[in-house]
Amino acid sequence: MSRPFIACGIMSGTSRDGIDVAIVKIDGKFPKNSIDPIHSESFGYPPGLRGLLMSPPESLTAEAIVGLDFRLGRIFGESAIKAIENAGLRPGKVDAIGSHGQTLLHFPRGRDLGGETVRSTLQVGSGAVIAHTAGITTVSDFRSADIAIGGEGAPLVPVYDYVVLRSSKHSRVALNIGGIANLTAIPRKAGVGDIVAFDTGPGNCMIDTAVRLKAGGEMRFDRNGALARLGDIDEACVREVTAHPYFSRTPPKTTGWEEFGEAYTRKVMESMSERGRSLKDIVRTLTEITGKTIADAIENFVRPKTSVDEIIVTGGGSHNTMLMGSLRRRLSGTAIDAGEASGMSSDFKEACAFAYLGYLCLSGIPANIVSQAAGLRPAILGAIYPV
């Protein structure tokens, strides 16, 4: 294009705590694009909808799932228009929307279906409805193409991390602690094939679930680690959770609400409650588990392949001082900073990344660099809904 590409990204993550929207300006050619944020903001879900989204997927009827697909598409489209207006732009000035959707089910290792193991994924929030609500060409369903060629379908953000953070001087790890924690390791002078990226395990999801359930809905998360700071660690629980087979699996790998969501968290909480642990102890313990599993993932799966000079942390977990303290203690000697220190938004990185993924799809550029690094073929990610 003769002018910069303006894209709007929409993200709703594992925590299901709202909709993040970011508008970015993209210039240059891949992989040397400049990606400059213009505006970002968050929108809450309407009353009652978040409760439905928090329901175990197996409890939802087919009617509810298809209804969510269309209802979320409209809400995402309306949120995009509000953010565009608040940015002082007209919708006609925005070239595309990239929407991750809300993941309901993600089975990259497959599930039995009629005697055959079928690998699959489902994100709701219809791209067609977004496009026609906002009047802007929309790209959605980014995971399916990677699943189809044998990949994990996630994480999807590494291509953004690679473009924004690769360096000729430093080996960096981009760590995003949302509901699930994921990382992208970018060695010094890295090519696409040098990237290491995977989900480390639970980020905030177990902590948030424990707070929500024990506080009776009065609190949704442990702000700044305030509860964890007052509690004691249940070492038996740490051993129990870190023995989960996910943590020993070799990357590439992904996980989600299916493995570490409410059902699993309830079992862990019941075990701690039987030992007389308070909410503060439970939150402290889950915070330490998150810190430990992230640090172990870096030590076990990243450092054997590359040095780590800097760790750049984004997502809600970057604001949890107890969690950040756990990481700094366990990874002493490595610089650990929030995203802003490297020009990234701690709260809106993933929304910016999906704006960029929309651009890559419309430009015909394969974005599945995690799968490419694992030896799978390049794939253009996303389904396009023009207007």
pLDDT band at 354 (very low <50, low <70, confident <90, very high): very high
* Structural domains of the chain, ranges and CATH numbers in brackets: 5-154+348-385 (3.30.420.40), 158-342 (3.30.420.40)
pLDDT digits (tens, 9 = 90+) for 254-279: 998 889 999 999 999 999 999 999 99
Side by side, the strands of the sheet bearing 34-43 are 34-43, 19-27, 5-11, 96-99, 138-140, 383-385
pLDDT digits (tens, 9 = 90+) for 87-104: 999 999 999 999 999 999
pLDDT digits (tens, 9 = 90+) for 326-344: 999 999 999 999 888 888 8
Q: What is the pLDDT of residue 114?
A: 94
- Measure the CA–CA gap between 265 and 271, rounded to whole angstroms: 10
Q: What is the pLDDT of residue 1?
A: 63
Strand partners, 336: 311
pLDDT digits (tens, 9 = 90+) for 128-184: 999 999 999 999 999 999 999 999 999 999 999 999 999 999 999 999 999 999 999
Q: Which residue type, as a one-letter code, is found at position 80? A: A
**Minimal CA–CA distance to 233: which of 280, 296, 293, 294?**
280
Mean model confidence pLDDT for the chain: 95
Write down the pTM of the prediction. 0.94
